[in-house]
Amino acid sequence: MRGTPGGVWTRRKFLHIQTKRHPDQTKRICKGPAGTGCHCADLPQSQSKQPAAAAAARLPGKVLYGSQKGTAAAFANQLVRQAATFGVELQAMDLESYEVEQLWKEHLVLLVLSTYENGSAPDSARWFCQWLDESSTDFRVGAEPLASLSFAVFGCGNSLYTDHFNMVGKTVDRQLSAMGGQKLAPFGCGDEDCGKMQEQFQSWAQGILEAQSKQTSSDAFVDPVDPIITQEDTASEGYATSDEESSSESGESPAAGGSDDDMDMEDLGGRVVSGKAASTSQAASQQPEPEAAAAREMLTPALRANLSKQGYKLIGSHSGVKLCRWTKSMLRGRGGCYKHSFYGIESHQCMETTPSLACANKCVFCWRHHTNPVGRDWRWKMDDPLTIVHGAIDNHVKMINEYKGVPGVQAARLQEGYQVRHCALSLVGEPIMYPEINAILNELHQRRISSFLVTNAQFPDRIRHLVPITQLYVSVDAATRDTLKAIDRPLFKDFWERFRECLTLLRDKHQRTVYRLTLVKGWNMEEIANYAALLDLGKPDFIEIKGVTYCGSSGASSLTMQNVPYHADVCEFGEAICKARNGEYGLACEHAHSCCILLARKDRFWKDGRWHTWIDYDKFQAMVAAEETFVTTDYMLPTPDWAVYGAHEAGFDPQETRFKKIRNHPQKQS
């Protein structure tokens, strides 16, 4: 409000006007009443025309990030370091600790935002996004409250999630523009699926920092809070009407439906950043050459280094093998895994591997914390099946050999360990995504190595065409559509239909089939009736029920130790399933140490008053080699008494030596 000579109070509304201009019309002036020059003197002293370069030197720009797994945080800190080489001072800050009201006072903000489950913001950024969403539609905030802010947004997402791809970043970018913020660059659309998100981020950051560096060294600066227009508009009134503002934004603002490529974006120094040029540069970084795209390897250098650090032995460009803790245990004579109790495998002769480190799900209990690649089909360079099998066995034997001379390792077990007899294709990822999975299985069987294949029930065609397998598992992580979506977080839109079809296909398999249930307390343990109903689809031979294993805290999962059920909880769940099926299945085995039990079909595996869940591996290999037609009951063996459900050994082989680690935890204070 300001007084006039006539004593009448009027309101002068200053709005930032952004219009297109011709190349020769580069002069920018303040728009005041004719003959009076500008009205900068009427503005608060802090908003008068002071050199912005000096102001920027005193107030570093902010790099605000919202990160779930650490990717956005890493990019933000990288941006701060990179900016220093350009002479631009930036400060990285987690949105969780950022005071949102401070945004009104900022002059430069760069945001790096991840999009998480169902298009939601990361936990650390949810309050900021909620506040921004409310403020952008609140008339009380006023017109263009962020006119003094220059910003740019980079989103970290995965285009496989088409419905929600980079939704958080795009929404924030649109809302900041709608509130008057000045866009320094087009939205940076990072795509994890293309394998080049680092390059995409680098291209986005490079353009912004180059512009800021030139601006900082320039003397010609006009504070963006000043009401400014191009020279051709000097004959207009001293303020912009709401209609003028609306007209300008309708043609330029992405919030009003305009294209980023057609926008005229001005940074703090008044330098115009060409939207088309920036978009072209970014598109070039996102679109690899056709030959390069066809030959792209699944494992990036960073992922390869990370997996190697965690003990994985990598084979080629998409496979891996790792030594199981139970293999190490049995080398010392300290007991085997639940497969030893349930099916009679020798854990020290079992190789755990995968021909595909990629998966089509991002399960909440995944021990890889969602750092591995994901995909709906195979789009990577493919290694030869024979190379994978050779590499897996060679690396496995080398890891066994590393235990030579280790205290407690039994010489006889070590020698047996050199001979791989079993292969668990369940290390990580989705094994049947690999197009030549049948060639892998055939190669294993030719070497008289049994096969235990685990699939996440999202590829029915692959299951339909599988060759005979010693034992085929399907992960049944939930019994309803909504719960399965929440727990497995699948990529496919028709995930539920695929899931049910995969289960149904088990009926046609003549070899051993298993539903594997992973129980997560508070998530899926109340669905007993629904689980029981799913058994009608596949009629599996066995049902493995296991409590979820806590793999540590991670931004990728909200699970805690409170979600881990006790063995008694798992047993109670199994008993309820048997009751719901009216005795069709019985409680056959348990392995208390693994918090795991086995249910088996009574009509097939309860013979002569005892369970027959163990496998005659030699007979299986002989029938496969002879290309005979055979069924599950043709290669079963009696279950030893110590492995039967309810035995006092609770699944621990009495021939082994029970070992309990001495834990020196500090005493709890009462």
Q: Each residue of 361-410: pLDDT tens digit? A: 888 777 555 567 888 999 899 999 999 999 999 999 999 999 999 999 99
Q: What's the rounded mean pLDDT across residues 612-622?
A: 97
- Residue 235's pLDDT is 31
For the chain, which domains are there?
56-287 (3.40.50.360), 293-643 (3.20.20.70)
Task: Please say whether the beta carbons of 365 and 559 come within 8 A.
Answer: yes
Q: Tokens for 169?
A: 């970043």
Q: Which neighbouring-strand residues pair with 155?
A: 113, 189
Q: Which neighbouring-strand residues pair with 271?
A: none
Task: Please say whether the beta carbons of 540 and 514 come within 8 A.
Answer: yes
Strand blocks (E) in 294-376: 313-315, 319-322, 350-354
| Alpha carbon distance 189, 173 (integer Å) | 11
Q: DSSP character for 374?
A: B
User: Where is pLDDT greater, at 155 or 100?
Assistant: 155
Give the chain's mean pLDDT: 80
Statement: residue 204 has pLDDT above 90:
yes
Q: For the chain, how long is the longest CA-to-CA vector?
A: 111
Q: Is the four-CA dihedral 481, 482, 484, 490 of positive or negative sign?
A: positive
| Alpha carbon distance 168, 122 (integer Å) | 9
Query: Residue 116, CB half-sphere, CA atoms under 13 Å: how many?
Result: 22
Statement: residue 22 has pLDDT above 50:
no
Q: Which neighbouring-strand residues pair with 352?
A: 322, 424
Q: What's the rounded mean pLDDT across residues 80-105?
A: 90
Q: Each residue of 249-292: pLDDT tens digit? A: 333 333 333 333 332 222 223 333 333 333 443 444 444 444 44
Strand blocks (E) in 99-149: 108-114
Confidence class for position 563, pLDDT limits 50, 70, 90? confident
Bridge-based pairing state of the strands 61-66 and 108-114: parallel
